[in-house]
Chains A and B, each alone.
Chain A
C-alpha cells in the first residue's frame, strides 16, 4: 500500500467548480463548526455553573457534532468536486474512529489522574500521582500482569494443538467438511455460555462429568478452581477450547496454500515425514504462523469474560487478568480514576510489547525463510 504513488484509479474533473459554490460550501462548514463549538462552550459553562441556562445533558452537543460531521462530508464534494468524492470513502470511518478512540483516550488521561467515584456526588477530584503510587504498591495488579504473561505463554500449547489439527484436516480424509464444521463449533459459542457449560457445570466438583472422570482416574477430591495453579490451568483450557478452532482454520489455509511442487520435491529427495515437516513445511508456514499467533495474542490480551463469570478472579485474585481485575475494581468501588490509570498503563505495556514482538518475529521469519 505504501508503494502507491498517486491514485491507482484516475478520474477526470468533469467541470470547473464556481467560486460561489466554493464560498457557500465553506460558509456552511464554518457555520456548523461554530454551532458545534458554541453548543460545547455553552454546555461547558453550564456544567461549571458559570451560567444557569443550559441543556440537561451533553446529548445536544453530540447532535451538533453529528451536524458538523455531516456538513463536513457533504462540503468535501461541494468544495472539491471529484477529489472530494474520493475523500468521502475514508472520511466517515476516520471520523468515527477518531471520535470514538482518540477523544475517549484523551479523556482517559483526564480521568486517570483523578479520584472520581461515580456513586458519590462529589464528582472528579484531581489527585496528581496518587494513582500511580497506589499502582506501584498494588500486588494484585502486578499479579494480574504476571497472569497475562502466563496466559500468553499458554498460546504455545494452543498453537501446537491447532497445528496438529490443521495437519490432520489436511490429510486425505473422508467427509472433510464434516470434521471442519465440527471443529469450528467452539468458536461460535459465547465465552459466557462456555463458562457456564464448562466452568460451572462440567467442572462442578460433585456432579460434573469431568470431576467424575477425574475421580475415576483416581483423583480423590477433584477441585478445579481451589488452588491457584489448577484454577489458572482451567481458565487457560476453557479459553483455549474456544480459540483453537480460529488458529486451526488460519493454519489450515496456510497449509493448503503451500506449493505442491516443493513438497513433492522433498519426497522425491527421500526426506522422511519427520524431516519433511521440520525442514520444509514448518519453515514455509512461519509467516502464517506468526500472523496467527500475533492475532491470538491480541485476543488473549483482552481475555476477561470467562474469568469474570467463572472465578471472578478467585481464589484470592490468582486467576485475574488485567481486564477482569479492573472490572472488579470498578464494580467494588465504582471509582473510575484508579481503574483508568491501570488500563492506560496496560495499554502502554501492550503497545511496547507488541512492537518489540513484531520486530523480533519479523527478524526470525526473515532468517528462517532466507535459509530455504
Chain B
C-alpha cells in the first residue's frame, strides 16, 4: 500500500514558491539600486563638502552632515536665494532656453505630425509618383537619419540665414528631429478611431476640419500627450545640435552642464547641484506622467 505524502509535496511546492519570490524581489531590488544609486550619489554630492567627497561618505547625517555648499555656488540655497547671483541668472537663462525650445518644438511637432498622420490615415494622396505608403515611409525614414549628416550643412545654412544662436533655428531643428516619432505614434492612434465617427459628423454638417478638431482631437488627446512627452524628453536632453548651433544666447542646459565639466579640478558639489537641477524637471515630469510616456513608447511597437 503506497500513500502519497501530500503534506511533503505541498511543502516542497511552497518552498519553491518562496525561493522564486526571493529571487524575483532580490533582482528587482538589485536593479532598483542600479537605477537609483547614480541619482542618489549626485543629489547627495551636491550637499557634501570637499572632505566628504574625498572620504567617500555616503549616508547623510550618518557619516556626513549635509551642507548647502553646492546649492550656494549656484545661488539656489536658502541663504542666497534672495541675493543677487550671476551664476543663478546664468542658470535660469539656460533653463528658460531649454523650456522654450523643447516645449515649442514638441508642440509644433505634435501639431504638424498629427495633421499629417490623420491625413495619411483617412485620405489617399498622390504627390507625383508618391502614394500614401510612400509618403508615410518618407516621414518615418527620417528616423534613421543621423543628426551628424545634417549638422554641418545646417551650420553653414544657418550662418547664411542668420539663424545661428536663435530660438527659431533651434526649434526648427528639434521639430524635425522628433517629427518622425510623433507621426509614428499618431498614425497608430488614428487607426484605432473608427471612420464612422467622422462620417456621422460630416452628415451632421461639420466640415472635415471641423470633424477633425471637434471629434477626433478630443478622442486621441491621450496619444497626443504621449507623443508630446516623448518629444519633450528627446528635445530636453539633446546636446549635439545645441552644442553646434548655439553660442551665447540660446544655449540649453545640457550645453551649460557640458561646458563646466571640462575645466581643471572639478567642483564636485557645484557640478552635482547643476546636474541635479538640470535633470530634476524631467524626472518630475516623468514620474508624474509615467503612464502617458509608456503609452507613447508602446504605441507603435505592439499591435
Contact = CB atoms under 8 A, between A and B. Distances in A.
B113 interface: yes
Contact of A250 (B27, B41, B154, B298): B298
A365 to B, nearest CB: 13
A202 B271 CA distance: 13
A192 B32 contact: no
Nearest to A173: B24
Interface residues of A, number: 103
A48 interface: no
Interface string B1-42: 000000000000000000000001101100110111111011
A105 B153 contact: yes
Given A100-B176, A101-B176, A105-B153, A4 B124 contact: yes
B84 interface: no
A89 B152 contact: no
B191 to A, nearest CB: 9
A257 B283 contact: no
Interface string B105-126: 0000000110110111111110
A111 B152 contact: yes
Interface stretch (B61-69, B70-78, B233-241): B233-241
Contacts of A5: 124
B172 interface: yes
A365 B56 CA distance: 50
Contacts of B159: 118
Contacts of A194: 38
Contacts of A105: 149-150, 153
A191 B237 contact: yes
A222 B244 CA distance: 34
Contact of B272 (A7, A201, A245): A201
B136 A253 contact: no
A271 B288 CA distance: 41
B126 to A, nearest CB: 10
Interface residues of B, number: 108
B35 to A, nearest CB: 5
A105 to B, nearest CB: 7
B167 interface: no
A7 B122 contact: yes
Interface in A82-138: 82, 85-90, 92-94, 96-97, 100-101, 104-105, 107-108, 111, 116, 118
A5 B123 CA distance: 9
Interface stretch (B89-97, B217-225, B253-261): B253-261
Contacts of B254: 190-193, 305
B172 A92 contact: no
Contacts of A302: 146-148, 240
Contacts of A31: none
Contacts of A171: 24
B87 interface: no
A93 B142 CA distance: 12
Interface in A37-93: 56-59, 62, 82, 85-90, 92-93
B148 A253 contact: no
Given A93-B116, A336-B155, A323 B282 contact: no
Given A182-B35, A250-B298, A301 B144 contact: yes
Name the 7 nearest CB pairs between A and B, nearest first.
Answer: A89-B119, A190-B237, A253-B298, A93-B116, A2-B133, A188-B286, A192-B254
17 contacts: A85-B208, A90-B125, A94-B116, A96-B175, A100-B150, A101-B145, A116-B156, A189-B237, A193-B254, A245-B35, A254-B302, A308-B239, A322-B146, A323-B240, A327-B244, A343-B152, A347-B149
Interface of A: 1-2, 4-11, 56-59, 62, 82, 85-90, 92-94, 96-97, 100-101, 104-105, 107-108, 111, 116, 118, 164-165, 168, 171, 173, 177, 179-198, 200-202, 206-207, 209, 212, 241, 245-246, 249-250, 253-254, 257, 288, 291-292, 295, 298, 301-302, 304-305, 308-309, 322-323, 326-327, 330, 336, 339-340, 343-344, 346-347, 350-351, 354
Given A101-B176, A192-B239, A192-B258, 16 more contacts: A59-B162, A90-B125, A105-B149, A105-B150, A108-B153, A173-B28, A190-B253, A192-B254, A193-B42, A193-B257, A250-B302, A254-B302, A304-B239, A322-B148, A336-B152, A346-B146
